[in-house]
Amino acid sequence: MLTAEGRRERRPPRSLRAEYEHFIDQRIEEYKDSLPREEVLGIGDEAVQELARAEQFQLTEVVLREQVDAIIRRRLKLPSFRRWRDRHVALRAAQAQPGHWGLAPHEPVAALAELLEPQDPILVIGAADGACALFLAARGANVTVVDPDIAAVYGLENRAIVEALGGQIACEVVPLAVYAPGSTAFAACVLETSALADLAAAVRSALVQRLKEATPPHGRHVVMPGALARGGTPSLTSDALRSHYADWEVLRPPLGSGSAGGRRPRNVGFTAIRRAERQTATPVAVSE
């Protein structure tokens, strides 16, 4: 849970070796899923023949599966750990910068990223262009994205795989009018205003209220600027949601920051922090 200072206890980051093994497993499973059943069975037969030539007498299901994976690794020419590590470290360094995703340093999601610890669970409402979800995943968060548009979710999932971030992003296709967070205690929630633009005002208000109620004290909501529609104006501005946070502490970027670069130079959004509940003082009888 968030501390009074708004930070979380540190967790050890996942090792590079573990990330590499996840990368390899993901590529192998994607390849298997792309093949018809007959071809997968053919790889199994090839694995049995290779094990027989190697005089592998204890042919178990685990041994056979490992040999199938080894054949697929050769077919895909997957990199060694050392080669992958050199590329991966450089890629992650670039991905950790907001500019890599078309975000500006002053946007509120950039400030949120500075508070993240490895594996912090973050909820993102709206797939949008994927920039926020991918940026936070690159900073080590475990991101859950909720969006009713299956095409937008599918596009984000594909981009996450290409960016080697698929293991840190989970997507749910759910109508926002009925969505409510489950039992997961999210460290923060990011709202893409473009995802809320088509909701009726009352429905939008009810959704924000459910998200607020599921947020622990000192938890944060980051309301991103509205994406520009035709004519250069956002379909829903972040300021349209500001009134929903009258009972929270609202932080905005410094004056003038909206003129800097980034994908949304105007209407720069805001961060809202849930205040801690005030404890009622217990009356104490005072005698002479």
- Check residue 30 and give its pLDDT: 84
Decide: 104 and 254 in contact? Cβ < 8 Å.
no
Give the start-to-end residue ranges of the domains of the chain: 16-81, 98-273
pLDDT computed for residue 4 by the predictor: 35
Q: What pLDDT sits at residue 151? A: 94
Q: What kind of architecture, by CATH, is found in domain 98-273? A: 3-Layer(aba) Sandwich (3.40)
pLDDT at 127: 92
Question: What is the Cα–Cα distance from 92 to 135, expressed in whole angstroms?
Answer: 10
pLDDT of 279: 56
What is the chain's alpha carbon radius of gyration, rounded to the nearest angstrom?
24
> pLDDT tens per residue, the chain (288 residues)?
334 344 444 455 567 788 788 888 888 988 888 889 899 899 989 988 888 888 766 778 888 888 899 999 999 898 888 888 888 888 888 999 999 999 988 889 999 999 988 889 999 999 989 999 999 999 989 999 999 999 999 999 989 988 888 888 999 999 999 999 887 788 899 999 989 988 999 999 999 999 999 998 889 999 998 665 544 555 788 888 999 999 999 987 765 555 444 444 456 789 999 988 765 555 554 444
Helices 61-76 and 37-53: crossing angle in degrees, nearest 10, is 110
Cα atoms in the 13 Å half-sphere on the side-chain side of 149 = 14
Angle at 123 between CA 119 and CA 126, to 5 degrees: 135
Q: In what order do the strands lie in the sheet with 270-273?
A: 169-173, 142-147, 121-125, 188-192, 220-224, 270-273, 249-251
Closest CA to 215 of 179, 246, 189, 238: 189
Q: Which two tokens stand for residue 72?
A: 């697929």
> pLDDT tens for residues 110-152?
999 999 888 899 999 999 899 999 999 999 899 999 999 999 9
Q: Please give the model's pTM, rounded to 2 decimal places.
A: 0.72
Q: Yes or no: say if 208 and 200 are a contact pair by the CB < 8 Å rule.
A: no
Rounded to whole angstroms, what are the CA distances from 53 to 47, 50, 59?
A: 10, 5, 12
